[in-house]
């Protein structure tokens, strides 16, 4: 999968100085198995960038092309295909369903594509230490548990790129490493790429490219 960025400037940044940014107003692309870190302090538009890629934000100038197609002009159906089969996202807000159990949250994703078997999901839960919380309602989980759940859920679909928006912000090093290992295994299996945003590279992850926003 090829994602091309061309002179993107989101509307909140029109009036600010973005000349030092590696991303805003630049031409660059990510493709194939690239592992990319978007690093910036908060308020520089990390979440905005990810939302522009999936067509959720439209208030910008410049263009994004996903395999030659502009997500701005995706139909509702094309967007649902994009989000369920081509690009997987762990949102910063996690987008979990509080009233459903941990297991139901995963199933809600997995039933769209029937991508993972029960045993595969079980293995992932064990690896991230969530097997005890399977039937617990999400609203009773800690934020760190929720982050791990959101990561597992994001892996329950085929993708060419996985977008992770500060996925380890509430994880200890042990869990962050375990989660990253799980992610890289899946990414390798798909032959996919990673775009991860973070306040900084705190977890000693080997990225191919680091962009500073």
Minimum distance, C-beta of residue 85 to other proteins, in the bound complex (Å):
7
Identify the residue among 11, 43, 61, 111 touching other proteins (CB under 8 A).
111
Please give the structure tokens belonging to residue 96: 């979990």
Q: Which residues are CB-contacts of 195 (< 8 A; sequence separation ≥ 6)? A: 3, 30, 36, 38, 50, 53, 161, 162, 163, 164
From 6, 104, 169, 184, residue interacting with other proteins (rule: CB under 8 A)? 104
C-beta of 81 vs 126, nearer to other proteins: 81
Per-residue b/e over 175-212, b at no fewer than 16 CB within 10 Å?
bbebbbebbeebbeebebbbbbbbeeeeeebebeeebe
Report the residue from 2, 100, 178, 210 that binds other proteins according to the rule CB under 8 A: 100
Judged by CB under 8 A, the residue of 59, 67, 99, 185 near other proteins is 99
d(CA 36, CA 120): 27
Question: How far is residue 139 CA from its own chain's centroid?
Answer: 21
Binding mask 125-164 for other proteins (x = CB under 8 A): --------------------------------x-------
Q: Quick one: which segment of 7-15, 39-47, 89-97, 203-211 binds other proteins (CB under 8 A)?
A: 89-97
Tell the smallest beta-carbon distance from residue 96 to other proteins (Å): 8
Tell me the closest approach of the beta carbon of residue 104 to other proteins, in angstroms: 7
The site string for other proteins over 59-78 (x = CB under 8 A, - otherwise) reads -----------------xx-
Classify the C-alpha dihedral 101-103-109-111 as positive or negative.
negative
Q: Which residue has the tokens 């967007």?
A: 79
Q: How far apart, in whole angstroms, are the C-alpha atoms of residue 87 and residue 144?
A: 23
Nearest-CA neighbor of 110 among 93, 124, 129, 98? 124
Q: Is 178 in the site for other proteins (CB under 8 A)?
A: no
Q: What is the binding site for other proteins (CB under 8 A)?
A: 54, 56, 76-77, 79-85, 89, 91, 95-97, 99-100, 104, 107-109, 111-113, 157
């Amino acid at each position: 999968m090829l994602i091309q960025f061309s002179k993107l400037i989101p509307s909140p940044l029109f009036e600010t100085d973005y000349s030092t940014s590696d991303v805003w107003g630049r031409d660059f692309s990510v493709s194939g198995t690239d592992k990319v870190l978007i690093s910036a302090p908060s308020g520089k538009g990390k979440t905005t960038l990810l939302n522009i890629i999936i067509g959720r934000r439209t208030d910008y100038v410049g263009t994004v092309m996903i395999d030659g197609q502009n997500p701005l002009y995706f139909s509702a159906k094309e967007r649902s295909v994009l989000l369920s089969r081509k690009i997987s996202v762990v949102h910063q807000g996690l987008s979990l369903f509080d009233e459903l159990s941990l297991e139901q949250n995963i199933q809600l994703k997995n039933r769209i594509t029937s991508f993972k078997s029960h045993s595969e999901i079980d293995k992932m839960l064990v690896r991230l230490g969530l097997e005890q919380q399977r039937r617990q309602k999400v609203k009773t989980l800690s934020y760190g548990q929720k982050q791990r759940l959101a990561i597992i859920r994001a892996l329950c679909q085929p993708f060419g790129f996985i977008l992770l928006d500060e996925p380890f912000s509430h994880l200890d090093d042990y869990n962050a490493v375990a989660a990253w290992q799980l992610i890289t295994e899946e990414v390798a299996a798909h032959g996919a790429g990673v775009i991860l945003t973070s306040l900084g590279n705190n977890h000693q992850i080997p990225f191919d490219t680091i962009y500073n926003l």
